[in-house]
Structure 1
Amino acid sequence: MSGKVVIVTGASQGLGEGIARGYRERGWRVVGVSRSIAPADEPDWLTVAGDVGDPATAEAVAARTLDRFGRIDTLVNNAGVFIGEAFTDYSDEQYRQILATNLDGFFHMTRHALPAMVRNGGGHVVQIVTTLAEHANAEFPSVLASLTKGGLAAATRSLAIEYAARGIRANAISPGIMETPMHPAETRATLGGYHPLGRMGTVADVVQAILYLEDAKFVTGEILHVDGGQVAGH
């Protein structure tokens, strides 16, 4: 056991589940957060059910983490909503849902985790963003993803500078289209063709990148693209 503690949001499936598993395999104690996550309270695995867009969830997560494990070393803001829709077809409810999860979730979770990191003398905050915020694609309408995830990329750089002197790093992973339950198996060959490397990314690709950033103590303010070359061009 490393003794270190990470909070992973959106940890019930897909990327979040894989990220949580990756840290556990390294001997970290992990707190998984999701609206639908199954109850668990094990020596290295605690779950908290709740909506990250609700300030009360972030407060409860921080309190339960500190009560159970006594520290917070890393926060992975993975929970996110992507709704691909023509801009004028978005509903008010979709707009609120996307902003609540993608932006409010980041704000509330990070605000409650940072004081514990400052007390520890260091920490790490990681966001999951998207290359679509940098390279729009007419086949994937994504204005609200760009609004929110692009904002998170900018916030990551700002957070990195604001907290660098206190030993806290902030980085982001920018995935391409990933093999998760969001994409049925029959669509994956087509979706893979949108990447210069000719395939979709896997959960393991993202986990490997996050663990690299965890080890890379001289890296902060970085947006690490795990997108099969999409950021470079087509």
Structure 2
Amino acid sequence: MSSEQKVAIITGASQGIGAALVKAYRDRDYRVVAVARSIGPSQDPGVVAVAGDVADRETADRVIAEAVRRFGRIDSLVNNAGIFIAKPFTDYTEADYAAVLGVNLTGFFRITQRAIAEMEKRGGGHVVQITTSLVDHANSAVPSVLASLTKGGLSAATRSLAIEYARRGIRVNAVSPGIIKSPMHPVETHAALGALHPVGHMGEMSDIVDAVMYLEQAPFVTGEILHVDGGQSAGH
């Protein structure tokens, strides 16, 4: 494989949107470092699987080291790993708080800081966060303060990083999904969850993948929060 092939790091890569993103980047001839708590070795020589919790400093160090050691560069980072716990605000526990902040914010901070440091060496790169439309459009049927606290922080950080690094060739964007059909949503819940969207149905994982791929190929776009949410952020 040529050292000129681009390299993407994708967190939360073992299933669902993360696994679909790994395939999409490989289909575009990227080499990929796939990160998740439980992920087995890949049979694809263009994919390095790193098992670990993104909230742990050691995992972030290992991910960046593996990308550089195996592939020699880092071009893109997709911060897809996330935890969503829907509870009334007063029912959240300290364990809930620690888990959500650990993955959604601490994990983002550690791996993004290290990835951008490598991107600076090459004079360019792209970082994408996966957030949630609940940040912009709270819904009384879906109590989600911890999601808003953390994913809202990612949206703000996306804009801040985009401006900080705009003249250094590093773009930073986010995709803000509605509710997407994935293994975390049993089929019997799809009708009710679909009704939460103005378009009347849930999104597909391909909708999110296509949004990330658009941003990947859009050199004049940075600081963008791209809503892929069936109209939720516009209202009801």
With normalisation by structure 2, the TM-score equals: 0.97
Which one-letter code corresponds to 2:166 in the other structure? A
The residue aligned with 2:190 is 188
Q: Please list every run of 5 or more consecutive structure 2 residues that lacks an aligned counterpart in the other structure.
A: none
How big is the shift at 1:40?
2.4
The residue number in structure 1 matching 2:232 is: 230
Report the TM-score when normalising by structure 1. Answer: 0.98
Residue 42 of structure 2 is matched in structure 1 by 40
Give the deviation of 1:43 after TM superposition: 2.5
Task: Say whether residues 1:210 and 2:215 are aligned partners.
Answer: no
Q: Is 1:29 equivalent to 2:34 in the alignment?
A: no
Q: Which residue of 1 aligns with 2:156?
A: 154
Say which is worse superposed, 211-220 or 188-197, in terms of deviation.
188-197
Residue pair 1:206, 1:226 contacting (<8 A) in 2 also:
yes
Amino acid at match of 1:70: G
Runs of 4+ in 1 over 6 A off after TM superposition: none
**Structure 1 unaligned regions, length at least 5:** none
- Cα distance, 1:196 vs structure 2: 1.1
Give the fraction of aligned pairs with identical amino acids, expressed as a percent.
Answer: 62
Whole-angstrom distance in 2 between the partners of 1:198 and 1:175 = 15
Partner of 2:201: 199
User: 1:193: Cα distance to partner?
Assistant: 1.0
Q: How far did residue 41 of structure 1 move?
A: 6.2
The letter for the 2-side match of 1:143 is V
CA distance in 2, matches of 1:145, 1:120: 34
State the SS of the aligned residue for 2:142.
Answer: coil
Distance 1:122 1:41 in 2: 29
Distance of aligned partners of 1:97 and 1:47 in 2 relative to their CA distance in 1, 3 Å threshold = same
Give the Cα–Cα distance (whole angstroms) in 2 for the partners of residues 191 and 128 of structure 1. 19
Q: Aligned to 2:23, what secondary structure does the other structure show? A: helix
What value does the CA root-mean-square deviation take over the aligned residues? 1.0
CA contact (8 A) 1:127 1:156 kept: yes
Q: Retained in 2: the 8 A contact 1:160–1:171?
A: yes
Counterpart secondary structure, 1:47: strand
How many residue pairs get matched?
234
Is this contact kept in 2: 1:41–1:47, CA < 8 A? no
Deviation readout 1:66-113 (Å, 9 max, x if unpaired): 000000000000000000000010010010000000000100010111
The amino acid that maps onto 1:175 is P
Match of 2:56 in 1: 54
